[in-house]
Structure 1
Amino acid sequence: EYETYEPFPISDPEINIISENLIFDFSSYKEDVYPPVANVTANYVMKNVGEDRVVQLGLPVVSNYECLKDLKTRKIIANGEVIDPKIWIGPETKDYFRSDDVDFSDFVTTDYQILEGIEGTLYTANFDGSKLKLQYSTDNRFFIGENIGFIIDENEIEFRMGGYRSYYIYVIGPEVTVIDQAGAFDSIRLTGEEFIDYLARCYEDDVLAPYLFNYQLRQFQNSSQKTVEVQDILDNPRCFLLVYDVLLLGNSYANEVSTFYEVVGNFIRGYSIYRYDYYTQTAKKWVSFQNLHLTIIPPSIAPYLVADNYGLQKQDNGSYTAFLEKLPTEDFYFEISKIEKPYYVTWYIRNILFGIAYIIDYFLHHPVILVLSIILIILINAFFIYLAVVIIRKIIRRKKSNL
């Protein structure tokens, strides 16, 4: 999963958005893919105030490494020219691009900085159940590969390998003392740059992995952490910026820029409802933004738009559209469903049936509690019946005494 935002200018803010045509098209959705995936097309008409110039456009994405590997080939078309992105890598925070003041000085760009002053020992092994116990000093730090558990004390750290076939531990700083080990380990002294080259080969990725691990080693070098786990680096969402160098014609309304990508929804509220978010607030960084045309072409499996915050209206062909003269203050979201009004029908009935099924299943697996519950219900009913009989007798006696 990943979050996608409106593109914005990085190098030059003197660009006006005359119009945007934003389309979420599910028509090619295959029902064996879950949840429904939308093909998104965003067509922009831009005006460049001044002479012809190359402008850097940034397309923010919050994602993890695995998802971004699929996104790194995302292209845009500017005035008929296909442009590949450069990738800038930033911190692990989901709210970074939503702030009013975005600073890219900490991002690792295509021309990333050489890692200076980092040197360490790389330990590698290829057997499950391997164990390595080291005695370390205050100057050591540990860059720990996947599927390696560890216990760290004040002066000792123990690693245990399991569930994988290729293990590595990069011990930054002076050489350490091996206290105990089980299994065969190879070791070699490497600089930070040499270690990044090793990781690129290890993950068979010389495009994205070197920049990601370069960024993380720089952050690790400047922090007080003793350990960092590669699994977290690969899995945790972080900020990426796809950067495009776009030639825009001067003083012209004819600049057309289009982006193409896929957006995956989130399953919410019930089995038939999917939510899609599109973060528009980064578009505030343009000089002006106007004339937003929105279109949603829903999939056959979920043809109904049941909620949105931009006021889309259904058309005769089954699509939903809206036109907004200015950029709204809220980010855009919409929800689709296979049922036109699912909230008070499907959702509540489903919950009631689920509750009944849960109770039945619970009692079937706990027969003693079932018997005790039945006895308790009988006793409670008997009590209320007895109470009702007593009350009725008193009423009859009062009526007879009055006669």
Structure 2
Amino acid sequence: MKKLVKITMILLISSFSLAFANSGPVYWQGYPSSDIMTVDKDSPIEVKSENLIFDFSDENNDSYSVQANVTAEYEMTNPTDETQSVQMAFPYIERLSNVNYENIKITANGKEVPYEVYAGKTVNSYGNSFEENKDENFDFNEIVKTISKDTYEAENFKADEIGKLYSIEIKPTTDIGIDFTVDFTYDQEKTNIVIKNFNSFNREDEKVRIASGCFESQVAEIYVLGEDININKISGYTIGSSKEETNSFTYELIEKEVDVKSYLLGMKSYSYGDFEHISDVQLYNIYASALDKNFVNNLGFCMVDDVLEINSVRIITLVYTVEFLPAQDQKVSVSYSTKGTMDKRNTSSPQYLFYYILNSAKNWNSFNNLNIKIVTPQEAPYIIDSNIEFYKEEGNIYTASLEKLPEEDLSFTLYSKEKVTLYDKIEGRIYRSFGYFAPIVIGVIIIFIIIISIIVVRKSRKSN
């Protein structure tokens, strides 16, 4: 019996080790890729062929999903006897702060083409396996509307409106820090307020107190639009206490006038990401629309963190121009990296789902000969599901050739085995039910089976 207990303990420890080794999510959302589109629906340019490659062989997978290097090369022709300057768009779903511009390359006849970046609507719900009509986010007309250099027109302010910025530099003189508060009054019908580096807001009629824990020197801000506020008191309290005032701090209050556009664009200095490819107009529009929405929803009050919607997943459209001489053919290529949706809810190992939006290509004058090549990753070398038929070649290569665009957008699923087995489904159900704790549950089930088997064997031996 002691030996049985010892074996059980070893198995339990192994089970917990397995749990920690596999303590990842069972679902990780990915986003689709898309064909390029013509901005002008009446463009005469024809697509003679497209060679589309998904290459997973780099094994550059730094998240819970697998990454593909995607290249879409188009052989295009200008069938007219006039020069055509064609504006093209490549929609891309990602957080603006996460876009890796080094991995995005657009060429025409081998020469790199410069592009402009336009930020579209957020698509936070995309990738939900229960969501229908996923391609609604890629509506052609909606994407074209975002290709604009117009400045966002807000309901609650104007871009050149002058506001008052109160900057308060706080310096605690104690190692344990302080709670810092500002009391002021304002008319919420006539004033809009943005605060930075405060994490508490209490309002009673026109009286307001904002507060923040402060452990080292920092600058807090109050930005006022409309009628000015009346600052009544700036106080410090012993950390964690709302009643015990302390003088263990110093502060300096600076006031200056700043227009809305300058104030909002200043936020990029403390926003995470590389924004040098994004114009000031695009950045202002993102910040201004978020601020406007928060003023409406929060009765004229907003925290800076609520403005930083720049980190939301959204449609980002890269727009560029290719010039075609009369009767000229050109090879236009777009290359980038993308990650699919990892889904481990119904199988023992992850399924990787990829979507590629083809309906945008239907806006060309004509489109022929779509050739697809997929080089699958080592950890998921098999295509177990797709909406078009692929031919399995040697190694991890799948190919397909179509004379015309398919009726539906391309989708395919990668898996570690050639098919999903019953055992995979049972283990997947456990993962879906218990999430991070699934390895422990599986370990306990295995241990239970082993113990029962040992007991049965021992009883059988005794009876003999």
Tell me the TM-score normalised to structure 2 length.
0.66
Please list, as runs of the form range in 1=range in 2, the aligned pairs for 1:134-283 lying within 5 A after superposition: 134-137=184-187, 138-145=189-196, 148-151=199-202, 155-161=206-212, 167-182=220-235, 184=251, 186-203=254-271, 205-208=275-278, 210-219=280-289, 220-221=291-292, 224-225=296-297, 226-228=300-302, 229-231=304-306, 232-252=308-328, 254-268=329-343, 269=345, 270=347, 271-283=349-361
Q: Secondary structure at the match of 1:326?
A: coil
Counterpart for residue 14 of structure 2:
none
Please list, as runs of the form range in 1=range in 2, the aligned pairs for 1:4-403 lying within 5 A after superposition: 4-11=33-40, 13-30=43-60, 34-50=64-80, 51-68=82-99, 70-71=100-101, 74-93=104-123, 97-99=137-139, 101-102=141-142, 104-105=144-145, 107-109=147-149, 116-124=159-167, 129-137=179-187, 138-145=189-196, 148-151=199-202, 155-161=206-212, 167-182=220-235, 184=251, 186-203=254-271, 205-208=275-278, 210-219=280-289, 220-221=291-292, 224-225=296-297, 226-228=300-302, 229-231=304-306, 232-252=308-328, 254-268=329-343, 269=345, 270=347, 271-351=349-429, 357-358=440-441
Tell me how far 1:38 sits from its aligned partner.
0.4
> Which region of structure 1 is more displaced relative to structure 2, 292-301 or 115-124?
115-124
Percent identical = 25
Tell me the TM-score normalised to structure 1 length.
0.75
CA deviation vs aligned residue, 1:152-196 (integer Å, no higher than 9, x gap): 565455444469966545333332222444464544320023214
Count of residue pairs brought into register by the alignment:
359
Amino acid at match of 1:325: E
Tell me how far 1:218 sits from its aligned partner.
4.3
Q: Secondary structure at the match of 2:122?
A: coil
Distance 1:102 1:236, change over 3 A: same
Amino acid at match of 1:328: P
Tell me how far 1:9 sits from its aligned partner.
0.9
The separation in 2 between residues aligned to 1:133 and 1:72, in whole angstroms, is 48
Tell me how far 1:291 sits from its aligned partner.
1.2
Tell me how far 1:304 sits from its aligned partner.
1.1
Tell me how far 1:36 sits from its aligned partner.
1.4
Distance 1:59 1:163, change over 3 A: farther
The separation in 1 between residues aligned to 2:194 and 2:367, in whole angstroms, is 45
Tell me how far 1:309 sits from its aligned partner.
1.2
CA deviation vs aligned residue, 1:195-232 (integer Å, no higher than 9, x gap): 14422334484543734441035434588343455455
Unaligned runs of 5+ in 1: 363-403
Distance 1:193 1:317, change over 3 A: same
**Are the aligned partners of 1:200 and 1:206 in contact in 2 as well (CA < 8 Å)?**
no
The separation in 1 between residues aligned to 2:296 and 2:202, in whole angstroms, is 18
Amino acid at match of 1:201: S
**Are the aligned partners of 1:265 and 1:274 in contact in 2 as well (CA < 8 Å)?**
yes
CA deviation vs aligned residue, 1:348-396 (integer Å, no higher than 9, x gap): 135459679549979xxxxxxxxxxxxxxxxxxxxxxxxxxxxxxxxxx
**Are the aligned partners of 2:351 and 2:415 in contact in 1 as well (CA < 8 Å)?**
yes
The separation in 2 between residues aligned to 1:217 and 1:58, in whole angstroms, is 23
The separation in 2 between residues aligned to 1:299 and 1:285, in whole angstroms, is 33
RMSD (CA atoms): 3.6
The separation in 2 between residues aligned to 1:192 and 1:245, in whole angstroms, is 33
Distance 1:322 1:144, change over 3 A: farther
Amino acid at match of 1:334: F
The separation in 2 between residues aligned to 1:356 and 1:65, in whole angstroms, is 36
Distance 1:256 1:349, change over 3 A: same
> Which region of structure 1 is more displaced relative to structure 2, 217-226 or 168-177?
217-226
CA deviation vs aligned residue, 1:267-293 (integer Å, no higher than 9, x gap): 103433211222222222222222111
Amino acid at match of 2:268: A
The separation in 2 between residues aligned to 1:106 and 1:302, in whole angstroms, is 37
The separation in 2 between residues aligned to 1:23 and 1:168, in whole angstroms, is 50
The separation in 1 between residues aligned to 2:35 and 2:414, in whole angstroms, is 22
Q: Secondary structure at the match of 1:27?
A: coil
Counterpart for residue 368 of structure 1:
none
Q: Secondary structure at the match of 1:347?
A: helix
